[in-house]
Each structure stands twice: as structure tokens, then as C-alpha cells.
Amino acid sequence: MSKNNLSSLEKKIIEILKSYPDASIPIPLLVDALALPKKKGWRKVKSSVNRLKQLGHIRLTKGNLVRLNEPIVSDKSMVEGILDVTSHGDGYVIVEGRDQDIKISRKYMSTALDGDKVSVKLMGYHKKSSKPLGRIESVLERADSQFVGTLEEIAKNTYLVKTDHQSSRVDFFIDPKDLNGAEPGDKVSISLVQWEDARGYPQAKVVQRLGKSGSNEANVLSILAEKQFKAAFPPSVVEFANNIQFDIPEQEVERRRDMRDEVVFTIDPADAKDFDDGLSIQILENGNYYLGVHIADVTHYMPRGSELDKEAIERGTSVYLVDRVIPMLPEHLSNGVCSLRPREDKLAYSCFMEIRPNGKLENYSIEETVIHSNERFVYHEVQDILDGNREHEFEPELKMLQALANTLMEKRFREGSIAFETPEPKFVLDENGKPVDVIVKERLFAHKLIEECMLMANKTVAYHVESLRKKGKKAKNDHPFIYRVHGQPDLEKLYNIRDTAKPIGIDFEIGRSVTSKEINNLLKEVEGTSVENIINGLILRAMSKAEYSPKNIGHFGLGFSHYAHFTSPIRRYPDVIVHRLLKRYNSGSGSYSYNELEELGEHCSERERYAVEAERDSVKLKQVEYLSERLGEVHPGTISGVTENGLYVLLDDIYCEGMIRVSDLRDDYYVFNPDLHCLIGRSKGKKYRLGDTIKAKVVRTDLDKRQIDLSLPDY
């Protein structure tokens, strides 16, 4: 049927969708856009949408979102994007400006590898998910990516690297001259030499020998190599860092605010060595708090454009694995010169804030300082003091911080912050790095105390730059700054959560948008229930990724209209940029253009994502190692996901997820019911639903895949 036979309402809907060709639009938003009354309008639009779907003009995605279904024609079917390969070997091409990635099945990948820029031909849409499908036509630009696998000699002087599933979808041929000292059985990182024909093996060369396959060192270094991180620093960078002196010249002290006679202390984990933030506090005569957040002055020691600075940019962030830290800066700086170690004079960049008893910022200043930390506290020690279980000379200051943190936290949640609390596993390791026990990290108020002070400082420095711009009535790109931004959550994923939660008795009603209050209400409703961790995880995955950008869109998760990262320059490069910008604006000049900040923001956001993935892989590796020694053990668990392939089970005592395959449910033939999110036995009617508590037996583990297979106990 032609579009001429459509009703006027149907034509208007098509026009709206044409204005946003890559968007998925909820029906309530269409009702608003058409200026129709809510109840009657919803019925009319829903009826028109159903008819347009039948006629093939539109598609309905999960969550009742409406998308244009324009026919794919040759001149519009080619797009360019970056390929992201999953552990299963399929890929997704991320195209700028499209809100949906294009799925590429393994057989249509051609010679493309993870991270490559590719040209894709659109081929249609998936029948069930309505996601766009494509085929890679050509590789436009190779990513400078490393892959990880085990070297094998398959014939005399003929070598292959069998890649880990997390690293690549194919195996690689290695010329004997490119072995770089590696031997069969070694875990290695490799880089592509060439790959012209998809029917043959790609050729690669060994970049680094990681150790014997299966060893702890090889497993950990593999994680780093997969995410393009290097543990060792180049010799020139180490030499540059080692030449930096601990002594502070007197003329440098004289030009700074001297805080050495004031009480300043740090609060960190027991095993921390890179202390990049300290605190001071007092109550003024007017009853206001005077909070000082003192941050290691890294930029004083790291000139822009130096060897050290270039390496820090490349790394972007420190990486915190279970058994080690891969620092952004060499240890001479991160644990030595810059670290705010106790009873040593240190250079700092400080944010001083006068805060009313109700938590409102009254006044502030941002100043270069010299401090002398009086005490290096650990979290449990501070908690004992706050709880009255031990005495300390700085108890009055800690009590002031406790009262202020409580006020700031209550104010923050009242004004829109989302209250996420997700448990994290912590491992006890033996001398060889093997996990011998696993516990859930304890979340103390001492942690929240530090968090609130850091949030306040980060918020204040962003507010400061916004104020500079407004005072001068400058153009949008004047006083460019790098913000920590967090956009609205993915509506389609939230609708999926609503549909997931409904069968287990939880109502999560959302319209065309969602507020932090609605999310907090859901989190409160599931608090203390068997599905608390599951719903928390689903909400987290639905949230947009926080990023670094000179475009300030605010921070949805925190409920802040302006926010930046200022408090961790030892371990995050964006904080280094923020320090440089603040110092230059204080002297009346700039140091980065808007475009430079845009590029740096994208790079640092990517490095952060890789670091988070490496940290998660490190945790999963230790969980798999731990359970590899405990095959046959039965653990209490909660069903955290249900698919047609089986049940995902979160083992409650070690906070670790494994899978019971549907083929291992042998007491019946089970059928997946997507509406109820459960598996139902065809003969006996037994149901396995999301949130059900069950017991699960560990039956198989795979260290390379970091995978745990479970089954139901025999009894």
C-alpha cells in the first residue's frame, strides 16, 4: 500500500519518525509530539502504529518503542563504523549518530578484526529483536590492537597462535622469524602483520611472551594485553621520573599557601600506596564548616608534552587488578614524590569550601598549597574511631567530617542522586597469587565520608569554571573544560527491566523518560530481597556510560548539573587536565582548545572502559581459579538470568555467576517463556524464574574463557 493511502495521523507519525531516522521513540512521546490528549491520544496512536507496522512502514522494538522501517537501498545501505567483536565471535559495528549498533554475524566478518574501522552493507533487521544486521564489505583502517593466545607448533617450523575467545575470533599464523623468543606452550600477545583473504589465516608477530599458558602470571598479563595495557614503562619514562627530586625548593613553598601547621590526614585502604587526597576541616565562628580537600600536585612534576606526560596520556588511567596495580605514573612518582605520605612535606592543589550546616556551598577557593600529612588512616581504623571503639587525637576532626558527610549525602539523594550499592568480592591470595578465600567487601561509613568530600570538591571545581564563563558572558567554547558527564539511561533497556520485574511482582512504571526518583524507588522496593543484586545490576547496565567531554550535559547518576574529576591525578589523566586548566585560568590564560579536550575526552573514556573491563576480567579469573579447586561443591544461589539456553545463577556466598545449561536440566524438557522470564517443564510444569533461590553444583571451569558451568545438585 502506498503512503498516499495512509490516514493523516499515520502520515504525521511517519514524518516525526523521518525527523529522527535512527531513534527509537516511545508511544507516549509520539502522543506529546502530536499534541493529543493522553488517554484518547494513546489509543489512537497505538492503533495507527499497529497498522503502520502491518503495512511495513515501521518496526516495534522491545519496550514498545517505534522506529522507522525505511527500505534499504544501495546508495544508503553503506555505513562506516568501528567493529567490536564479542567473545562468541560475532561483532557489532558502532556507527556515530546511530543509536543502534549493527550486528555482524561471524560469517559476514570478512577479514575485519576487533577495533578496525570498517565499511558495512546493511542487510535488514533481526525478526525478533528488530536490530539492524549487516555485512562487512571492506576494512578501511586497521586498529593497532594486540591479541592474546597460546603458541602451538602444528608442524615442523609451522606455528599458530590459538587465540583466547576474549581476544579474537580467529587464530593467527606466525612466521618463525617473528617468534620473538616465544616457545610452544607460551601465552603470548601478538599484533597483525597482514590478512588479505578471509579463507586463510591472518599473519601476526609475537609482541610479548607472557609466560607459560595456565600460570597465574600469564593469565594476568593476558588480561592486560587484551585491553591494550602494558605493565612496564619505557626506560626513557622511568629515567625521567627517577630524576625528579623529593626535596621542595624554598621559593616554591613561599609562593604557595602553607598548610603545614594545619591538621591534614589521609584515609585509604590498608594496602594503598598512592595517596592522592588529604582532608582538613574546622568549624568557623559563623557555624559553617571549612573543608579542605588537598590533592597531589602531579602537574608540577609532569610538564605537558614531556616523555612522562605522553606515556600518561597513552595509559589514561591506572588499572587495579586483584593482585596488582598497573599505575598510570611510574612508582617513583605515584608511590613516592607525588603521594601524600604521612609526616612529609608535599605539594598539593587544594579546594577549600565553606559549607553551611544544611550542606549548601557558601564560598570556596582553589589554591596551590604545601601540606604535611599528620596521619595515614585506613578505613577500618576511622570506622572504629567514629563508632567509639578507640580513641585518637584527631577524633574531633573525624566527627566533624562524619556530620558533614551525613548532611551532604542526605542532600545529594534528596536532590536526585541514585543510591547504588553493589557488593564486590575480595580475594585472599597465597604467595603464588592463588585465591584461598573470597569475601564480600565491607562498605563502611568511612568510605562514604571520603566519597562525599571528593564529590563536593569535584562539583565545586566544575562550578568554578561555569562561573568564570558566566561572569565574562563568554561564548560557549570560551574557558573550555573537561567535565565528567553522564547522560540519560537507555529507555529500551529500562523497558526491558520493567518487563523483567513484572512477573516477579515488582512494578516499575516509566513513561517517555525516567527520573532518578523512579529508579531510587525501584532500588528501595527490592532492597533486602533475593533480587536486589540482580535489579541493581540490570539498572547499572541500563545506565549510560559516564564519559569525559568538554560538552557539559550534567551527571544524571549523581544529579549534578556540573561535575568534573579533580581528586585523583595520580591515577586518572582527566584530573591532570583539570588541574592544568584551573591553574591557567587562575593566571588568566587557557591551555587546551575545545577540540583538543574533545579528543582527549574520547581517548580517556575509552582507556577507562578498557581498565574497568580488565578489572572485571581479573575478578572473574580469580573466581574461576577459586572454583577450579572446588569442583563438585554445592553453593546457595539466586537465578540472575533466564534464557532459552539455560539459567544464569549468582552464587550468593562468593558473588560469582555461572550457568546451568538447559540440557543439564534432565528431570524434564524445559521450554523458555520470554514473557514470564522463566523455564517451564513441559511434563511436570516446574518453573525456574528470575530471582528464585536454588542450590547449584560447580561442575566445570575454563580459565581461558573465564567461564563457570553449574548443575543442579544430585539430591
Render pLDDT for 77-126 as a digit per residue (tens, 0 to 9).
Answer: 788 999 988 877 789 998 887 767 899 998 899 999 988 999 999 888 77
Chain position carrying cell 605520605? 341
CA distance linking residue 668 with residue 318, whole number of Å? 49
Residue tagged 539492524 (cell numbers) = 132
The pLDDT value recorded for residue 165 is: 66
State the pLDDT at residue 72: 46
Q: What is the mean pLDDT of the chain?
A: 89
Q: State the burial class of residue 507 (Cβ atoms within 10 Å of its Cβ: 0-12, 13-18, 19+).
A: exposed
Distances (CA, A) of 400 to 282, 351, 386: 8, 18, 10
Residues 525-561 pLDDT 10s: 888 877 787 888 888 888 889 999 999 999 999 999 9
**Predicted local confidence at residue 431, as pLDDT:** 87
- On whether the CB atoms of residues 176 and 121 are closer than 8 A, the answer is no
> Per residue, what are the HEC states of 444-482?
CHHHHHHHHHHHHHHHHHHHHHHHHHHHCCCCCCCCCCC
Quote the pLDDT of residue 494: 83
135-178 confidence digits (pLDDT tens): 999 999 998 888 999 999 999 889 999 988 666 788 999 999 99
Cβ 204 vs Cβ 167: under 8 Å: no
Quickly list H helices, 544-593: 573-586
Please report the pLDDT score of residue 74 as a whole number: 41
Task: Please list the ranges in the chain whose pLDDT falls under 50.
Answer: 1, 72-75
Residue 71, pLDDT score = 52
pLDDT of residue 1: 44
pTM of the model: 0.85
Q: Cell 540490570 appears where?
A: 538
- Domains of the chain in start order, with CATH, are 3-68 (1.10.10), 78-141 (2.40.50.690), 146-226 (2.40.50.700), 236-480+564-614 (no CATH), 494-540 (no CATH), 630-711 (2.40.50.140)
pLDDT at 166: 66
Secondary structure (DSSP) of 115-127: T-EEEEEEEEE-T
For 30, 491, 522, the CA distances from 65, given in Å and listed in that order, are 10, 9, 22
Distance in angstroms (rounded) separating the CA atoms of residues 592 and 589: 10
The residue type of 417 is S
